[in-house]
Structure 1
Amino acid sequence: MKQLNLSCILVLSLLGSLSLQFGKNQLAAEEAPPWAVLKPVADQSPLPGTQPLTDQGDLSAKMIEGIDRFLLKQIAIAAENRSHAWQRDLSSSAAYEKSVMPQKQELMRMLGISDPVISGRFSYVGSAPQSVENQFTIYEVTWPVLNDLTGAGLLLVPAGKILGDVVAVPEADQAPETLVSSDQTGGNYAQQLARSGFRVLIPTLINRDLNKWNLSQREWLHRPAFELGRTLAGYEVQKIMAGVQQLKQTSADSSRPTGVIGWGEGGRLALYAAALDPDIDATAVCGYFGPREQLWQEPADRNVFGQLNLLGDAEIASLVAPRTLIIENGTYPRYGYRTTADGKLEVISDHYPKLKGKPGKLLVPGKDDVRQEFARAQEFVSGLKPDAPSLALIETDDAVASQTLQVFIASLDAAAKLATTVKPLEIKSAAQADARHDAQLAEIERHNQRLLQLAYETRIEFMKNLKTGSLTEFEKSVEPYRELFKKDVVGEFALKLLPANARTRKYQEGPKTISYQVEMDVFPDVTAYGILTLPKDLKLDGSEKRPVVVTQHGLEGRPRHTVGEEKYRAYKSFSTHLAERGFITFAPQNPYILFDRFRTLQFKAQSIGRTLFSIAVPQHQQLTDWLKTLPFVDGKRIGFYGISYGGKSAMRIPPLVDNYALSICSADFGEWVWKNAATDQRSLRYSYANKGEYEIFEWNLGGTFNYAEMAALICPRPFMVERGHFDGVEPDDRVAQEYAKVRFLYQAQLGIGDRTTIEWIKGPHAIHEQGAYEFLHQHLNWPVPAE
């Protein structure tokens, strides 16, 4: 009995021990984290065949700083090279105008002036006309511009003989009434013109007041317009040009001269209108003229894609010749949005600011800067025959000075005399100015949304030369679209890549992986940086070659976010997990990090017809070229897999880097143009139109490349979409609608439906680690590891 009890005790003890051990193992299994557990390595030796990486600083910040220096140098180079695009023929006025017609047409394209102004008559609206001392009468008027766009403002009609017609364009923050009823800077001069015998039309401009999203009204309208190949400035120039047409049509004397004058934003628009409209006989530009190479510092609505490649202010002034142009070197308006106490642009690099728009200010050049820019304009046209055009510089400390006004009206009628300065009037319709402005704003917003609806058909017409009768036919016909995408949409720096000069060091180690930090040169000042992760069982001597997956982070991401515990919720350690499955991975740093510091790069790039992806594309070309040199890499099996902003990269980089054998777009694919340009209340849940990503808007994607068209540039290479049902990027129906076009191209038209798929996931904005992994194993021809 005692022996039995002892045996029982031993058995129970053994079972307890086993149970305890099993419990510990089970607990350990349950507590094993889902992310890759990585440790730093003490040995920081370089990858064989590369130089040691010794820089201990923030390599991502270093990259952004280098890109900034590079872009500023490229802006300066663009200014130096601008003259190569011009062949002015100064032998006669007719020959000159013919010789600069390509530049005028390019300015129209840059401003998005593509729809013809319609004809019509002034409509007299609002309160009863107001007669002023029997000298002139003030009317509220509207006039047709486009089919669904009108101009609106005040018309001042002299009581006696009319010597000429003038469009007086106010500063953006001035109502038309300011030009007859205010003694503020740049105000009250329109009534002087009317008292001097000139009929004056004063259009309403959109002001810079903040709306409920803390965006200026001008940026609010400019954002969707820019995405759709238009600009707010283009709309307002067309309102001026339509106003000139209305004045011509309602003139009793067909020979009556017409002039345009403006201050601040009005001066800018007057300059543009005069450059484009030969019916404008004389123009006075006040409070706007000078060097334009700092365009990126100006408010968002002044962003003109590619302007500085062709046009500074002097070049635009030369387009006015042989007609009269007067530049006033006087007082400039001041305005800043997100500026510091000392007038600099606010730069926040670690969080979103309260105000969602682009930091910007109106540039106020020095007197000498204006003189130098004016001298450049003179140089361009001084040899024009038979007589040099009338180009005058008025030096003053005022805004729209009496001297400027006298020279201006005398250029329209030599006998004209400027009326004496008078006190501002009390205007009956002043209370209606806000309502008029808001109606004009709503009208432009509706026009933008109409263009958004029409953009689908515009893109069909744009892509009509894509042939899908056979795969061979397709591959030949898609190439011109890739070229257009590269040069006109993404923008290309036609520079030779530097030798990569790769610098590396061991970084982290996991149970199955070893990683290296890698930095390489791309262009002068521009580097590429990332993390290379290798399976430990990989033979580095070249006796085997494996596929590579380039794993691209999202907005404000870093390569390290894709490898381990940090940011695991979104990235799922996919760089390391894929390496654990036998792939080589490379996680690059893309140039969308550090908030304002990267966003202002976009505006520097756009001023010379480039974008952030003009940098990212050559970076990826360089890194994939380098990867192909590694003895253990199969250069024909390099895939791209990006999430969120990395998904944007998946749509824009692989089309232009043919080293990529496939592309996976995660947590970003959808109706991209709608997401940028839609402003209705339901769409604003998803749209960037009212968000803080002020750099996101790309010139004229609405008329060229939505995501389906970008996918066509990836085709016939494999392409996949990873989509979470609860991803707030876009609703499912928008994603499905856009992907249906991709599926139709691959499957129905080209018969290669096995090369594309979409995975629908009951999940959020994150890597899913299932269908995409299967896609990579299949199309990069790498076996799925045994469970």
Structure 2
Amino acid sequence: MISPFHFMHVTAFLITGTLVSAIPLTSAQNHEPSTIPETRELTIEGDIASTLVSGVDRFLLKKLKESVKARKQHWSRDFSSAEAYQRSIQVNRAKLADLLGLKDQRVAYTHPKYDLEINEKSPVYMKTGAFDAYKIKWPVVGDVVAEGLMLVPNLLTFRKTEIQVAPEFTAAYKERASHDSFYTAAHVIALPDADQTPEQLAGLAPGIAPESQFARRLAESGCRVIIPDLISRKMTRRQSDYGGWGSELSQREYLYRSAYEMGRHIAGYEVQTVLSLVDWIESHQGPERRRIGVMGYGEGGMIALYAGALDPRINTVGVSGYFGPRENIWEQPISRNIFGLLEQFGDAELATLIVPRSLVIEAAPGPVADLPGKGGAPAKLAGPDPGDVYTEVKRARQLLASYVDEIPIRLILGSGLPFGSEPALEVFLDNLRLGLKPGPNKPITPSIPDTTAFEDRQQRLIAAWDQHTQQTLMRSSYVRKEFMKSLNTSSISSFEETIEPYRDIYRDEIIGHFNDPLLPMNPRTRQTYEGENWTGYEVVLDVFEDVIAYGILCLPNDLKKGEKRPVVVCQHG
């Protein structure tokens, strides 16, 4: 794991600590003024800061490429049995949960609540020939309430599945609540892309082609489908704390920024949203347990992959428009950035956390987005190339080459493949319950809801997660106090002895570091500034291959050889 602050600290340490103590400095009057004694002449021309950035860029791109092979040192997969395999990957699963910031306890609840308008009497939001749609809300963590749709197949749809149910349940069908699972072939959590709405994925509002309305088609197959609303990528100009308008950020980046500082993540928040539904489904399983599936597209595919990797209660996972090599994640929206992820996890490694449960990967074109950098992080989003998807799936299979059973990873490829395609749905449903078939590839003709309600729901969700992060911030001083309780400040020696574990945590988990040995400093200097009583030198040192440290060293002119004086470090940001 590494952060930009790592290079800032290396620069400050080398220039002010090592250089000042290791090189016999004298005043400008006692040596050739163009360089510092015992250093080579600095010959780099132009903007040295840009040279530094370019070198760090090359270094990090190389490290990203090397991370694929380096990940194996963090895994100890035991293929001697299915049980042994599950035990052996638990430490990696726990690490993933930590990276995603799954630190908050989820709220237990009896049932989701129907979201009724003041003038509405029936909880049914919309009826189709195959299912009833409900607007629902459910608690996640703290005071956060998620929102979305629940599609419940009607009795006619359920009968087509030919699943047998006891007569007393059949007689009570009309009296049942929508949360009962007797007339559900399976439970599915369907996740749209960030720029899609639950209504679109359910075919209740325009915007998604009928063949890709996989939430609707899964409900028409006899599954109960819940579709959470995800935070969108919509660009919004934020009001400055100092008056006027500030940066223009995507909704996802806005929540990502503050959550990141608290060790949380917007992706982790949305995984919690999914897992809170899994908690509820599991707590209300009937005599015959119905299987649970999670399927997502684009950003929803990312959340489905993480949720499936973390929770063994999810029986099958479907990922579309997302799976592939992750080494170019730095080009993608910053809200996908997870500190330290690639040290242990690429998508192939995440797939190995899902096994022995089934994983369906659809190599469909992903969402396309161009996020301008107007105070935020610029990014371009393009769906994974089918060839890259194939390569990453192949790598997952190679990681599982010694697995004791058949590897349950299915790749769906095809020219012009839409997301939520027929082949992908067939495999996904077959893994949920043998014999289920996707609903017809035909649009339904519902009355189109007022789309302003979609934006209102989105703003409620943003406000809820933002407030949760701020509440976490308010509690953080108490958390830090508890965390630092082992630091002994009764004496300097006690402090020095007890501070080291905290320094290790700060280095490894906050700033990040590379284990590469530092290169010889090879100091190069050049006089650049001259004041009445001081002389300023540009200083360049070697750090790693392609990486230099660069700064300005200002020396008083009356400094004598061998003389030691205090050093003041001024680090700009």
Per the TM superposition, whether the score is higher than 0.5 is: yes
Counterpart of 2:345 in structure 1 is: 311
Offset of 1:187 from its aligned partner? Answer: 4.6
How far apart are the structure 2 equivalents of 1:133 and 1:491?
A: 53
Q: Whole-Å Cα distance in 1 between the matches of residues 431 and 559 of structure 2? A: 80
Residue 22 of structure 2 is matched in structure 1 by none
Deviation (angstroms), 1:375: 0.5
Shift of 1:548: 4.5
Give the conservation status (yes or no) of the 8 Å contact 2:365–2:384.
no
With over 3 angstroms needed to count, the CA separation of the structure-2 counterparts of 1:336 and 1:424, relative to structure 1, is farther
1:263 to 285, 288, 297: 297
Question: Equivalents in 2 of 1:211, 1:441: separation in Å?
Answer: 12
Q: Which residue is 2:509 aligned to?
A: 488
Is the deviation greater in 176-185 or in 247-256?
A: 247-256
CA deviation profile, 1:326-366 (whole Å, cap 9, x unmatched): 0001121111202xxxxxxxxxxxxxx6x111112224332
Q: 2:131 aligns with which of 112, 132, 136?
A: 136
Verify: 1:369 aligned to 2:388, yes or no: yes
Deviations 1:141-160 (A, max 9, x none): 11222231222111011113
Tell me, yes or no, if structure 1 residue 389 matches structure 2 residue 410: no
Which segments of 5 or more consecutive residues in structure 2 lack a partner in the other structure?
A: 1-27, 159-183, 239-247
The alignment yields a C-alpha RMSD, in angstroms, of 2.0
How far the C-alpha of 1:133 sits from its partner, in A, is 4.1
Residue of structure 2 equivalent to 1:360: 379
Question: Which string of whole-angstrom CA distances, capped at 9 and with x for unpartnered residues, describes residues 584-624 of structure 1?
Answer: xxxxxxxxxxxxxxxxxxxxxxxxxxxxxxxxxxxxxxxxx
Aligned-partner residue type, residue 149 of structure 2:
L
Instruction: Report the equivalent of 1:217.
Output: 251
The equivalences for 1:336-735 within 5 A come to: 336-338=370-372, 355-385=374-404, 387-396=405-414, 397-427=417-447, 429-431=449-451, 432-540=453-561, 542=562, 545-554=563-572, 645=573
Give 1:514 deviation, angstroms.
Answer: 3.3
Q: Is the 8 A contact 1:180 1:425 kept in 2?
A: no
Displacement of 1:130: 4.2
C-alpha deviation, 1:403, in angstroms: 1.1
* Structure-1 residue corresponding to 2:264: 230
Does residue 81 (structure 1) correspond to residue 54 (structure 2)? The answer is: no
| 3-state DSSP of counterpart to 2:70 | helix
SS in 2 for 1:108: helix
CA distance in 2, matches of 1:458, 1:332: 40
Higher RCO (Cα < 8 Å, 6 or more apart): 2
From the superposition, tell whether residues 191 and 427 of structure 1 become closer, same or farther in structure 2 (CA, over 3 Å).
farther
Q: Distance in 2 between matches of 1:548 and 1:285?
A: 58
What letter corresponds to residue 83 of structure 2 in structure 1? A
Deviation at 1:267, TM superposition (A): 0.5
Describe the SS at the equivalent of 1:549: coil
Which string of whole-angstrom CA distances, capped at 9 and with x for unpartnered residues, describes residues 32-88 of structure 1?
Answer: xxxxxxx9xxx8643332222222322222111111111112222222210111111
Q: Report if aligned partners of 1:112, 1:229 keep a CA contact under 8 Å in 2.
A: yes
Structure 1 position 68 matched with structure 2 position 53? no
The 2-side partners of 1:323 and 1:174 are apart by 28
2:142, 2:468 within 8 Å by CA — same for their partners in 1? Answer: no
> Do 1:272 and 1:316's aligned partners in 2 also have CA atoms closer than 8 Å?
yes
Q: 1:745-756, aligned counterparts within 5 Å?
A: none
Q: Which residue of 1 aligns with 2:245?
A: none
Paired letter, 1:159? N
The structural deviation recorded for 1:274 is: 0.5
Whichever residue aligns with residue 408 of structure 2, its letter is S
Distance 1:163 1:525, change over 3 A: same
Contact kept, 8 Å, 1:144 with 1:151, in 2: the verdict is yes
CA distance in 2, matches of 1:390, 1:221: 35
Rounded to whole Å, the distance in 2 between the matches of 1:97 and 1:144 is 30
The 1:306–1:133 alpha-carbon spacing in structure 2 relative to 1, beyond 3 Å, is: closer
Indicate if the aligned counterparts of 1:507 and 1:516 stay in contact, CA closer than 8 A: yes
Indicate which of 56, 70, 85 corresponds to 2:45.
56
Deviations 1:502-558 (A, max 9, x none): 122333433433333322212111112233333333334x4xx1314244252xxxx
Structure 2 CA distance, aligned partners of 1:297 and 1:255? 43
Contact 2:315–2:357 (CA under 8 A) maintained in structure 1: yes
| Alpha-carbon contact 1:318-1:377 (below 8 Å) kept | yes
Q: Could you say which residue in structure 1 is the equivalent of 2:227?
A: 202
What is the distance in 2 between the residues matched to 1:553 and 1:247? Answer: 53
Contact 1:180/1:187 (CA < 8 Å) preserved in 2? no
Contact 1:151 1:243 in 2 (8 A): no
CA shift in 2, pair 1:459/1:254, >3 Å: farther
Query: Which of 182, 194, 205 is the aligned partner of 1:172?
Result: 194
Deviation at 1:194, TM superposition (A): 1.0
2:90 match? 101
Structure 2 CA distance for aligned equivalents of residues 251 and 79 of structure 1? 40
Relative to structure 1, the CA distance from residue 203 to residue 430 in structure 2 (aligned partners, 3 Å threshold; closer, same or farther) is farther
> Per the alignment, do residues 281 and 552 of structure 1 end up closer, same or farther by CA in structure 2, a change over 3 Å counting?
same
Partner of 1:528: helix, strand, or coil? strand
Deviation of the 1:134 alpha carbon: 4.0
Give SS of 1:332's match. coil
CA change 1:77–1:251 in 2 (3 A) is: same
Which of 323, 326, 335 is residue 360 of structure 2 equivalent to? Answer: 326
How far apart in 2 are the matches of 1:553 and 1:491?
19
In structure 2, how many angstroms separate the alpha carbons of the residues matched to 1:511 and 1:148?
62
**Secondary structure of the corresponding residue to residue 514 of structure 1:** strand
Letter in 2 for 1:443: A
Q: Secondary structure of the residue that 2:235 maps to in structure 1?
A: coil
Partners in 1 of 2:89 and 2:445 — Cα distance? 43
- Aligned equivalents of 1:170, 1:499: Cα separation in 2: 52
| Contact residue 236 and residue 269 of structure 1 kept, 8 A | yes
Contact kept in structure 2, 1:110 and 1:305, CA below 8 Å: yes
Residue among 174, 183, 192 paired with 2:217? 192
Q: Which amino acid aligns with 1:372?
A: T
- Paired residues of 2:363 and 2:384 also in contact (CA < 8 A): no
Report what 2:241 is aligned to: none
Distance 1:490 1:131, change over 3 A: closer
Asked whether the 8 Å contact 2:78–2:84 carries over to 1, the reply is yes
1:382–1:388: 8 Å Cα contact kept in structure 2?
no
Consecutive unaligned residues of structure 1, counting only runs of 5 or more, are 1-38, 339-352, 555-644, 646-787
* Aligned position for 1:632: none
Alignment match, 1:343 = none
Q: CA contact under 8 A between 2:216 and 2:439: conserved in structure 1?
A: no
Select the structure of larger CA radius of gyration.
1
- Paired residue type of 2:409: L
Residues matched between the structures, number: 495
Residues 105 and 141, structure 2, Cα contact 8 Å, conserved in 1: yes
Deviation of 1:439 after TM superposition, in Å, equals 1.3
2:311 is matched with which residue? 277
| Distance in 1 between residues matched to 2:409 and 2:358, nearest whole Å | 6
